[in-house]
């Protein structure tokens, strides 16, 4: 069997396992792989038998023992064995190769016993031993029976060719002579033959059981690997790559897990319209349990911080909620900062995490503060809220200890000093290039050493202040009279902001469609129309119109866009208006807060 055939069979096994094939199919593939290796082993046995035959011929045991024989049949069997073994080595394993190899061994052993030397009957054990290598009980059983049948036939043929004189007398009938030959020579050899064959058969059975256990274990391993792979994909889905507040902050992140799934995480989310929260954290432990604890920590931090209030109080509440479900006594180190996008003011809490680096004019320095106790380990933990300020152009580099504690083979860690040198070499580079440079420097430092901890980084650059001209809005009843007032207010605000006439016309069209939806659907279950609050804010060169109503929950963005080319009969009712709105506006978002529907339309001026 050549190496490529073996690799092909192994790859087939893996593909089948990855598709959750039944265990019988997997077992068939494993046995097929075993057959390919067994063919090679039996081929080697045949080469050894050929060498033995040649040595036997050379020393004169075949053809010169004084008795007439048919040695040419031995030569024929040797030629057949050579052809079978050569074919096997040349073309690799096939379904028929094992039968050809075993058959050539039977032919050689039978030819020697029948035509040369009746005392060599135990040579018929060789095919049985070879069959046991294949881990096929049926094949081994058939070989045992065939060998037991061929032994007396070969013995009688040998006696017919050249009568055996020892233990016989002249005048015996052919039947008596055959029975005497079997009794004197066959019975004892048969017992020895069976004593050898029985262990071979049970070795085959045990081999099959071992293969079944291996296939079951491999199936379980494949299942675990698949689950871990799914967990990794879920975790990657939790770690965002499309960050909010793009006009104001430029953000990049990277995470390299030490195992299939990691315990590090980062997050970035809006807190109201003008604040951005950035989080980086490291869960104690590795693997799937740590990733589950990571997901719980991430959810609790986000929900409590977005609920509003002081950052330290929000973290204390999240800590209590996490502790209540922390039966495994895990903990998390967390650094969280909330950036005021209008002023650059940053409120942050450090729960036992590595201090970040602040970049100012291309220079980096560590943001040092006294860290508080880790997150999620103690129920009553107090967190201190610290303050710092970012100017436009400044940034934050957040990381986990997997970066600074990356260790090469001699035990030396990368450390904070090397990290500072790596960051300083990037100057004013964009966040993505900064992360790439640090990752490259860490990899070069570590070399071939194994990664023992998750490595996570995030770079946040504050590139534009949040500029908003807020509108107190107009609150009217959702009817035709209210429509006139709302549209007049929206037009007035856009004119005051200096919007081009085309933008004003397009936004009026979009807002008209949204108001019509509210008029038609929001209060359709009431006799009297409810109210709608509309604000028109000017935010960083864009117009943002917000509609708020207290009607039935209704998200128009959930509806699939209709096919505008379809005929009127084929097209489902509704949907064209909201599709037009999405085409006109740069961004359309919906949320339900309490009993209020909130729909926001935003378009660049």
Distance CA 439, CA 130 (A): 56
Q: Is it the case that residue 357 has pLDDT exceeding 90?
A: yes
Superfamily of domain 239-462: PPM-type phosphatase domain (3.60.40.10)
Distance CA 550, CA 597 (A): 6
Query: Which one has a higher pLDDT value, 387 or 604?
Result: 387
Tell me if residue 363 falls in helix, strand or coil: strand
Query: Which one has a higher pLDDT value, 532 or 118?
Result: 532
- What pLDDT, on a 0 to 100 scale, did the predictor assign at position 217? 74
- What pLDDT, on a 0 to 100 scale, did the predictor assign at position 252? 92
Q: Is it the case that residue 59 has pLDDT exceeding 80?
A: no
Region of 279 (left: φ > 0; alpha: ψ -120 to 50; beta: rest) is: beta
Q: Is it the case that residue 413 has pLDDT exceeding 90?
A: yes
How many CB atoms within 10 Å of residue 171?
Answer: 7
The pLDDT of 424-448, averaged and rounded, is 92
Q: Is the dihedral of CA 365, 371, 377, 382 positive or negative?
A: negative
Q: Is it the case that residue 210 has pLDDT exceeding 80?
A: no
pLDDT band at 73 (very low <50, low <70, confident <90, very high): confident
Confirm if 457 and 333 have CB atoms less than 8 A apart: no
Q: Are strands 474-477 and 455-462 parallel, antiparallel or unpaired?
A: unpaired
- What pLDDT, on a 0 to 100 scale, did the predictor assign at position 66? 45
Q: Is it the case that residue 287 has pLDDT exceeding 60?
A: yes
Confirm if 594 and 530 have CB atoms less than 8 A apart: no
Enter the tokens of residue 97: 């190769």
Query: What are the backbone angles phi and psi of residue 274, rounded to the nearest 5°?
Result: -120, 20
Query: What are the backbone angles phi and psi of residue 283, rounded to the nearest 5°?
Result: -85, 140
- What pLDDT, on a 0 to 100 scale, did the predictor assign at position 27? 54
Comparing 109-113, 180-184, 278-282, which segment has the lowest mean pLDDT? 180-184
Enter the tokens of residue 391: 């100017």
CB within 8 Å of 462: residues ≥ 6 apart: 248, 249, 339, 341, 344, 390, 391, 392, 393, 394, 395
Q: Is it the case that residue 228 has pLDDT exceeding 70?
A: no
Enter the tokens of residue 330: 């895990």
Mean pLDDT of the residues in the chain: 82
Distance CA 274, CA 340 (A): 6
Q: Is the dihedral of CA 66, 69, 73, 77 positive or negative?
A: negative
pLDDT band at 364 (very low <50, low <70, confident <90, very high): very high
- What pLDDT, on a 0 to 100 scale, did the predictor assign at position 227? 63
Write the class of the CATH domain 468-604.
Answer: alpha beta
Q: Is it the case that residue 7 has pLDDT exceeding 50?
A: no
The pLDDT of 351-365, averaged and rounded, is 94
| Burial class, 464, CB count within 10 angstroms (exposed 0-12 / middle 13-18 / buried 19+) | middle
Comparing 382-391, 479-488, 520-529, which segment has the lowest mean pLDDT? 520-529
Comparing 12-26, 112-126, 328-342, 426-440, which segment has the lowest mean pLDDT? 12-26
Three-state secondary structure string covering 338-349:
EEECCCCEEEEE
pLDDT band at 165 (very low <50, low <70, confident <90, very high): low
Q: Is it the case that residue 539 has pLDDT exceeding 80?
A: yes
Q: Among residues of the chain, what percentage have pLDDT more than 90?
A: 32
- What pLDDT, on a 0 to 100 scale, did the predictor assign at position 22? 44
Enter the tokens of residue 31: 């046995």
Q: Is the dihedral of CA 448, 449, 454, 459 positive or negative?
A: negative
Q: Is it the case that residue 67 has pLDDT exceeding 60?
A: no
Query: What DSSP string runs through 488-546?
Result: HHHHHHHHHTT--HHHHHHHHHHHHHHHHHIIIIITTTSSS--EEEEEEEEETTEEEEE
Distance CA 205, CA 136 (A): 8
Query: What are the backbone angles phi and psi of residue 40, rounded to the nearest 5°?
Result: -65, -40
Q: Is it the case that residue 202 has pLDDT exceeding 50?
A: yes
CB within 8 Å of 547: residues ≥ 6 apart: 511, 514, 515, 518, 532, 533, 534, 597, 598, 599, 600, 601
Q: 267 has which bridge partners?
A: 279
- What pLDDT, on a 0 to 100 scale, did the predictor assign at position 422? 95
How many CB atoms within 10 Å of residue 158?
Answer: 26
pLDDT band at 169 (very low <50, low <70, confident <90, very high): low
Q: What is the pTM of this model?
A: 0.58
Q: Is it the case that residue 90 has pLDDT exceeding 90?
A: no
The pLDDT of 44-60, averaged and rounded, is 84
The pLDDT of 494-502, averaged and rounded, is 89
Enumerate the H helices of 386-500 as residue ranges.
401-404, 415-424, 431-446, 480-496
Every domain of the chain with CATH number 3.60.40.10 lies at 239-462
- What pLDDT, on a 0 to 100 scale, did the predictor assign at position 132? 85
Enter the tokens of residue 397: 């580099």
**How far apart are the two ends of the chain, measured CA to CA in Å?**
72
pLDDT band at 8 (very low <50, low <70, confident <90, very high): very low
pLDDT band at 164 (very low <50, low <70, confident <90, very high): low
Query: Which one has a higher pLDDT value, 119 or 124?
Result: 124
Q: Is it the case that residue 433 has pLDDT exceeding 50?
A: yes
Enter the tokens of residue 418: 């090397």
Q: Is it the case that residue 14 has pLDDT exceeding 60?
A: no
- What pLDDT, on a 0 to 100 scale, did the predictor assign at position 41? 87
Q: What is the pLDDT of residues 234-285, one digit of tens each?
A: 656 666 677 888 778 999 998 887 665 567 888 999 898 789 999 999 988 7
Every domain of the chain with CATH number 3.30.565.10 lies at 468-604
Nearest in space to 349 (alpha carbons), one of 322, 325, 317, 378? 317
Q: Is it the case that residue 2 has pLDDT exceeding 50?
A: no
Q: Is it the case that residue 1 has pLDDT exceeding 50?
A: no
Enter the tokens of residue 289: 């349990």
Enter the tokens of residue 22: 């039944």
């Amino acid at each position: 069997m050549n190496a490529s055939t073996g690799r092909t069979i192994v790859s087939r096994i893996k593909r089948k396992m990855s598709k959750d094939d039944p265990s019988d199919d997997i077992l068939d593939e494993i046995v097929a792989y075993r057959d390919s290796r067994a063919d090679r082993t039996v081929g080697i046995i045949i080469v050894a038998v050929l060498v033995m035959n040649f040595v036997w011929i050379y020393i004169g045991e075949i053809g010169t023992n004084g008795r007439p024989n048919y040695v040419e049949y031995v030569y024929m069997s040797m030629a057949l064995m050579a052809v079978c073994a050569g074919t096997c080595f040349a073309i690799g394993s096939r379904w028929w190769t094992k039968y050809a190899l075993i058959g050539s061994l039977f032919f050689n052993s039978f030819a020697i016993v029948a035509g040369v030397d009746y005392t060599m009957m135990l040579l018929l054990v060789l095919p049985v031993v070879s069959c046991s290598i294949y881990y096929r009980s049926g094949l081994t059983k058939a070989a045992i029976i065939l060998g037991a049948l061929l032994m007396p036939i070969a013995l009688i043929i040998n006696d017919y060719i050249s009568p055996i004189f020892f233990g016989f007398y002249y005048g015996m009938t052919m039947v008596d002579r055959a029975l005497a030959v079997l009794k004197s020579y066959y019975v004892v050899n048969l017992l020895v033959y069976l004593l050898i064959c029985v262990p071979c058969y049970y070795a085959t059975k045990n081999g099959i059981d071992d293969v079944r256990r291996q296939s079951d274990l491999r199936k379980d391993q494949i299942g675990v690997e698949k689950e871990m792979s799914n967990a990794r994909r879920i975790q990657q889905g939790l770690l965002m790559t499309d960050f909010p507040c793009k006009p104001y902050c430029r953000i990049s992140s990277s995470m390299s897990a030490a195992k299939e799934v990691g315990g590090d995480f980062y997050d970035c989310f809006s807190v109201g319209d003008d604040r951005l929260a950035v989080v980086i954290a490291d869960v104690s432990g590795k693997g799937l349990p740590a990733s589950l604890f990571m997901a719980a920590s991430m959810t609790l931090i986000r929900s409590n911080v977005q609920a509003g209030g002081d950052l330290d109080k929000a973290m204390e509440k999240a800590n209590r909620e996490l502790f209540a479900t922390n039966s495994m006594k895990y903990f998390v180190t967390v650094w969280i900062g909330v950036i005021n996008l209008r002023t650059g003011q940053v409120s942050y809490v450090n729960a036992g995490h590595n201090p970040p680096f602040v970049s100012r004019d291309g220079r980096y320095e560590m943001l040092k503060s006294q860290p508080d106790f880790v997150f999620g380990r103690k129920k009553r933990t107090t967190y201190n809220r610290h303050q710092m300020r970012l100017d436009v152009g400044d940034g934050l580099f957040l990381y986990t200890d997997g970066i600074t504690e990356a260790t090469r083979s001699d035990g030396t860690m990368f450390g904070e000093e090397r990290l500072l040198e790596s960051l300083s070499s990037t100057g004013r580079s964009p966040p993505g290039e900064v992360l790439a440079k640090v990752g490259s420097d860490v990899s070069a430092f570590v070399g071939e050493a194994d990664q023992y901890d998750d490595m996570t980084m995030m770079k946040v650059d504050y590139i534009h202040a949040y500029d908003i001209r807020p509108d107190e809005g107009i609150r009217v009843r959702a009817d035709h009279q209210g429509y006139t007032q709302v549209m007049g207010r929206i037009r007035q605000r856009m004119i005051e902001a200096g919007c081009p006439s085309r933008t004003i016309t397009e936004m009026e069209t979009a807002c008209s469609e949204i108001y019509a939806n509210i008029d038609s659907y929001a209060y359709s279950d009431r006799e009297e129309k409810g109210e709608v609050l509309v604000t028109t804010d000017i935010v960083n060169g864009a117009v943002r119109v917000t509609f708020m109503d207290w009607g039935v929950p209704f998200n128009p963005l959930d509806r699939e866009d209709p096919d505008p080319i379809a005929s009127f009969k084929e097209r489902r009712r509704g949907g064209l208006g909201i599709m037009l709105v999405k085409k006109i506006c740069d961004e359309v978002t919906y949320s339900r807060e309490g009993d209020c529907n909130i729909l926001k339309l935003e378009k660049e001026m």
